[in-house]
């Protein structure tokens, strides 16, 4: 494990997610949540990373228990519903429906030499619209103001998943 750093250990988080694919525990994954939003908007405070994944299989050993067991065996600690990767809380969330589509269509990026995927801005808006908390409305407003949103794509996603943007 790397020593504590002044920066977030995001490269370690992304590398760890790639290792889960190599170990055939997950089929695919992408960064979602606040850190994905920050890819498109100004930085703001967040205390964890959300990794959305598509399980490699449908058996009982697929998904979160296997992921946590695998990563705990490598020395990562569990704190509540988070895994601590280099001390940074990471939540692994099984993707389905809209979030599965968001994983499959996520943008490929290179973060400090680590290949990764980040949800598209249009999917982040749609997911926030589906959740609907106050902070999700704020996220939608931020993305609409600051990100280059493909409005046709967003409308298509919203329509297919029977969603509407909240009144801002």
Chain contacts with other proteins (rule: CB under 8 A): 6-8, 10, 35, 38-47, 109, 111-112, 135, 138-139, 142, 145-147
Name the minimum Å distance from CB 45 to other proteins. 4
Residue closer to other proteins (CB basis): 9 or 55: 9
Torsion sign, CA atoms 5, 7, 65, 110: negative
Closer to other proteins by CB, 49 or 66: give it.
Answer: 49
Q: How far is the CB of 138 from other proteins (least distance, A)?
A: 5
Task: Report the nearest approach of other proteins to the CB of residue 137 (Å).
Answer: 11
Report, in Å, the least distance between residue 4 CB and other proteins: 11
- Long-range contacts, 140-149 (Cβ 8 Å, 24+): 140/165, 140/166, 140/168, 141/168, 142/37, 142/41, 142/42, 143/37, 143/40, 143/41, 144/168, 145/41, 146/40, 146/41, 146/42, 147/40, 147/41, 147/121, 148/40, 148/121, 149/121, 149/122, 149/125
Q: Nearer to other proteins by C-beta: 84 or 109?
A: 109
Pick between residue 35 and residue 51 the one whose CB is nearest to other proteins.
35
């Amino acid at each position: 494990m790397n020593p504590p750093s002044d920066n977030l250990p995001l490269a370690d988080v992304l590398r760890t997610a790639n290792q889960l694919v190599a170990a055939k525990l997950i089929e695919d994954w992408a960064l979602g949540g606040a850190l994905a939003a920050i890819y498109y908007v100004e930085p703001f405070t967040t205390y964890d990373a959300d990794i959305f994944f598509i399980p490699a299989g449908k058996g009982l050993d697929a998904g979160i228990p296997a992921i946590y067991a695998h990563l705990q065996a490598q020395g990562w600690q569990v704190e509540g519903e988070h895994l601590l990767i280099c001390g940074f809380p990471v939540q692994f969330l099984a993707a389905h429906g809209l979030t599965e589509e968001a994983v499959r269509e996520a943008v490929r990026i290179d973060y400090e030499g680590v290949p990764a995927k980040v949800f598209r801005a249009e999917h982040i808006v749609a997911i926030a619209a589906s959740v609907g908390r106050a902070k999700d409305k704020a996220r939608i407003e931020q993305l609409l103001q600051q990100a280059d949103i493909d409005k046709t794509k967003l409308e298509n996603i919203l329509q297919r998943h029977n969603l509407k943007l909240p009144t801002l």
